[in-house]
Amino acid sequence: MTNIRVGMGYDVHQLEEGRDFWMGGIKLPATKGAVGHSDADVLIHAICDALLGAANMRDIGFHFQNTDNRWKGMDSKFFLKEVTRMIAEKGWKVGNVDCTICLEKPKIGPHIDAMKQAMAPLMNVTEEEIAIKATTTEKLGYVGREEGVNASAVVLIYK
């Protein structure tokens, strides 16, 4: 029998004028960017939490604390590659990743292929194993007011 597990991750960041906006390992054209200790890539952070959760290895904040200056301004692709290495040390491989980004703007659709290209090699999967969807909140709540962004991810890992 193949050993399989699923994990779920979620992350949210505030948006602020004049910041770079990183999503799925690429810089998006935007007037607002996410606020965080690292580059605040909400999608990668959600995927990392899903992978760590599936492997029963706590969460991204446990391994990469936002009080540690080593991670200040860090490219989140580093975290994704490192988390993939960490779960591989326990014998796990990534099967697939399914993500949803919740954001009013910019529109995510035109950037999905580039995000997949950026993240797939970090997780040792093909682009076909990564699904990225986007939605809005129809102008409701902090997302609708363009004050923040969130992302959720579900992953399957196997031995």
pTM: 0.96
Calpha distance 2→80 (Å, rounded):
24
| Residue 2 known to bind ligand | no
Q: Per the annotation, does 60 bind a ligand?
A: yes
For the chain, domains (ranges, CATH) are 4-158 (3.30.1330.50)
Is 137 labeled as ligand-binding? yes
Helix intervals (H) in the chain: 42-54, 60-63, 76-89, 112-123, 141-144
CA 84, 22, 104, 150 dihedral sign is: positive
User: Is 63 annotated for ligand binding?
Assistant: no
Residue 84 among known ligand-binding residues? no
| DSSP annotation of 29 | P
Give residue-wise pLDDT tens across range 55-106.
999 999 898 888 888 888 889 999 999 999 999 999 999 999 999 999 999 9
Q: Is 79 annotated as a binding residue?
A: no
For residue 71, report the phi and psi dihedrals to the nearest 5 degrees. -100, 0
13 marked as binding residue: yes
